[in-house]
Amino acid sequence: VRVGVDGAGVGSPDSLGVAGAVLVQVTYAAGPVKSAQRNKVLADAFKLAWLRSQVPTARTVIVVNEPFERLFVTGAWLPAALTQQGVEVALVRGGATPEVARMLA
């Protein structure tokens, strides 16, 4: 099976000194989120959840910008499902620098 992700690398070593894989999907929207963009985020999230089941030690992160924030509000089903599957969500604001990212789920 061949699977593409937007970013992959080796994360920092854990407490046992073992470095784990990091798999990242990025989705960007300019202006209001369209249906196709929302569907892409859902597909990316499903892909990361599946990858996590195949590589349990991998850290999986979906990165979105501000227009997608409403999909990940507290109490919504998507962030709850992603948290349960071990998929992290990072929100990038403004200048899109790593220092501006914050974790949503």
Is it the case that residue 7 has pLDDT exceeding 90? no
Q: 19 Cβ partners below 8 Å, 6+ apart?
A: 10, 11, 12, 13
Q: Give the bridge partners for 9, in sequence order.
A: 22
d(CA 76, CA 41): 15
How confident is the model over 63-88, as pLDDT tens digits?
A: 998 899 888 888 889 999 999 999 99
Mean pLDDT score, 7-30:
76
